[in-house]
Structure 1
Amino acid sequence: MKRIALFHLETLMWIDRLGTFAAAAQRLNTTQPAISARVREIEQQLGIALFQREGRRMVLTARGRRLVQASEPLCHSLEQVLLEASDYAGATGAVRIGSGEIAAASCLPAFIQTIERERPGVTMEIELDLTARLLQHLLAGTRDIVFLAGPVASPGMRTAPIGSVELVWAAGAAAADAGGFTRPLPVWSLPDHSPLHAVTLATLEAHGLAAPTVHTCNNVRTLIEIVTGGTGAAVLPETMIRDHLASGTLREVLPRPRHTVHFEAAIRSRERDPVILDLFARAARLEINAPTP
């Protein structure tokens, strides 16, 4: 019979966090049969059942929960000590990062470059999505660090502000030269669950303008291309259209909205993985509105 090792306890913690053997296997870069074998080894060694099935999820029994709660800080403390002893040079593992488009276009590239340079053993898995889904993924344990349009509050989440983005009412050069909003102008926006959509409607109303319809597109870069080459206008993040404004391919057609979009880096409040905590500390020092070098 095999003795219980650290990887056995790590396996329990990831099954508890992600809810299924398959998800834990993917996170630990192994197979589902290997995960099942580890659980059997622990249960045989201790002589107790650690998990019970509830629907599709594997849920810890009361005794299994006590084991994980007691083991988790011990495992992470040991890993922290070993990583600090090597100045994190030996940090390895996959970190799953989620980001919206604005953060991805602004501060994420510099963050990635720093990790590649200073934590070469860390593999990054990056996915772009909307804030609502990013928050769901983070709390479900399928993302480790996310960059959210905020402010967002949740008892299961720890956040760090990384700045705000100014918004601009912009139209392509042809539409601006034709008079902008002095004539009926098609309006484009992100979908209605985006902060930009609310700002679009609020500022139109504040200026006494009415758009017969608001066309939507769920991709900011595509939205910029539509407005740049067409006859419409949109509220767009200034960080993503600086070059267009400087070259004149986009023009400002209304005063800039007073509302800005704030951004936060976030991890789970229960996060104890020292590598993720190290990357979160770095993410907290980012500035999303910093000028492009």
Structure 2
Amino acid sequence: MRLRNLSTFIKVARLGSFHAAAQQLHTSQPAISARIAALEAELGVALLLRDKSGTQLTARGTQLLPYAEKLIAISQEMKAQISQEIPEKGSLRIGISDTLAHLWLTKLLKHWQTKHPLISFELTSDMTPILIRQLQNHQIDFALMVADQSTPADISVGQLSSYPQCWVCSPNLHHHSTPLSVADLATFPIISFPRDTRPWHYLHQLFNTLDEPPPIHTCSSVANMLKLIQQGVGIALLPIPLLEQPLSEGSLIKMETEQTPAELTFCYAWRQDDDRILPQQLAESSLAIMQIP
């Protein structure tokens, strides 16, 4: 019997609402329904009834509730005792977007090494769609990536930070101070993150308003993308924190535009069936570190 399903049952029973439980557990209502259905199927009884007046416990549900609460309390006490006395050992596989790796990986890994000295961290960098698939396929355990609205219901997700973006280019490629329109931007070679990423979709929609959208050249490496732009190969829309050094050095210049580009939002994620406390601890530390200006 999965403790997650029991915990979800307790939450629905106490709140009297599948919707309210989904909000508090930061997941979707269908995911809540699936957990309750799995628990009912395992026990062979109906636990909850839903009608226009709300959600009510059945007689069997009322009978189960105190036992479920005792089991969850024992589980939490056990985890607390173990985490206090015995440091976690083993390994954790982490996937991270190249942008976040470029900005934060050194600080994150130093912090994790200090807090979890017996854990081996296995790091890989990739695009959000691939990281989501790797999470679902148990190829990685934790991800730091660009937020994606299509994240599956079996993945726990939380927002990390949002960064403003701006268009940049080599000083040799552009000299005008007049704000540029979308059509003006389309006269330059465009360099972006790979196809099917959120930045690529944003540019695809932006330029689709034109009769002749420009070709968008893609690159998966932030370091290589910056080098291409600095060498005048094209222009790019990038998060401003990535650009602080090249802008201050003058190897890149900011292009003023008529439209303010959308911010790029990042998130953390792990599988909901992972009962370890470590992914949540890494999420909390990542959130704290990435809020530092």
TM-score if structure 1 supplies the norm length? 0.64
Structure 1 residue 264, shift from structure 2 partner = 0.7
- State the match for 2:222 in structure 1: 220
Task: Give yes or no for the alignment of 1:199 onto 2:196.
Answer: no
Identity of aligned residues (%): 17
Task: Give yes or no for the alignment of 1:107 onto 2:104.
Answer: yes
Could you give the per-residue CA deviations for residues 71-91 of structure 1, whole angstroms, max 9, x where no partner exists?
xx889974542222x3x6x22
Partner AA of 1:281 in structure 2? E
Q: 1:234 to 1:183 in 2, by over 3 A?
A: closer
Structure 2 CA distance for aligned equivalents of residues 112 and 103 of structure 1: 12
Partner AA of 1:139 in structure 2? Q
Structure 1 CA distance for aligned equivalents of residues 245 and 202 of structure 2: 23
Q: 1:254 to 1:191 in 2, by over 3 A?
A: farther
Partner AA of 1:82 in structure 2? I
- State the match for 2:146 in structure 1: 149
Structure 2 CA distance for aligned equivalents of residues 265 and 234 of structure 1: 25
Structure 1 residue 109, shift from structure 2 partner = 2.4
3-state SS of paired residue (1:173) = coil
Partner AA of 1:165 in structure 2? Y
Could you give the per-residue CA deviations for residues 59-115 of structure 1, whole angstroms, max 9, x where no partner exists?
xxxxxx99xxxxxx889974542222x3x6x22210111000111122332221111
- State the match for 1:121 in structure 2: 118
Contact 2:167/2:254 (CA < 8 Å) preserved in 1?
yes
- State the match for 2:157 in structure 1: 159
- State the match for 1:50 in structure 2: none
Partner AA of 2:134 in structure 1? H
Structure 1 residue 125, shift from structure 2 partner = 0.4
Structure 1 residue 203, shift from structure 2 partner = 4.1
Contact 1:138/1:145 (CA < 8 Å) preserved in 2?
yes
Structure 1 CA distance for aligned equivalents of residues 145 and 186 of structure 2: 36
The unaligned stretches of length 5 or more in structure 2 are 1-41, 44-71
CA RMSD of aligned residues (A): 3.1
Structure 1 CA distance for aligned equivalents of residues 155 and 186 of structure 2: 46
Structure 1 residue 204, shift from structure 2 partner = 4.5
1:93 to 69, 90, 93: 90
- State the match for 2:288 in structure 1: 285
- State the match for 1:32 in structure 2: none
- State the match for 1:83 in structure 2: 83
TM-score if structure 2 supplies the norm length? 0.64
Structure 2 CA distance for aligned equivalents of residues 182 and 220 of structure 1: 21
Structure 2 CA distance for aligned equivalents of residues 264 and 212 of structure 1: 30
Task: Give yes or no for the alignment of 1:170 onto 2:168.
Answer: yes
Structure 2 CA distance for aligned equivalents of residues 129 and 231 of structure 1: 23
Contact 1:96/1:143 (CA < 8 Å) preserved in 2?
yes
Structure 2 CA distance for aligned equivalents of residues 108 and 270 of structure 1: 26
Could you give the per-residue CA deviations for residues 219-241 of structure 1, whole angstroms, max 9, x where no partner exists?
22211110111242111221211
Structure 2 CA distance for aligned equivalents of residues 148 and 142 of structure 1: 15
Structure 1 residue 286, shift from structure 2 partner = 3.8
Contact 2:229/2:235 (CA < 8 Å) preserved in 1?
yes
Structure 2 CA distance for aligned equivalents of residues 145 and 237 of structure 1: 23
Could you give the per-residue CA deviations for residues 187-214 of structure 1, whole angstroms, max 9, x where no partner exists?
22222212222333444467x6965422
The unaligned stretches of length 5 or more in structure 1 are 1-64, 67-72
Q: 1:77 to 1:126 in 2, by over 3 A?
A: farther
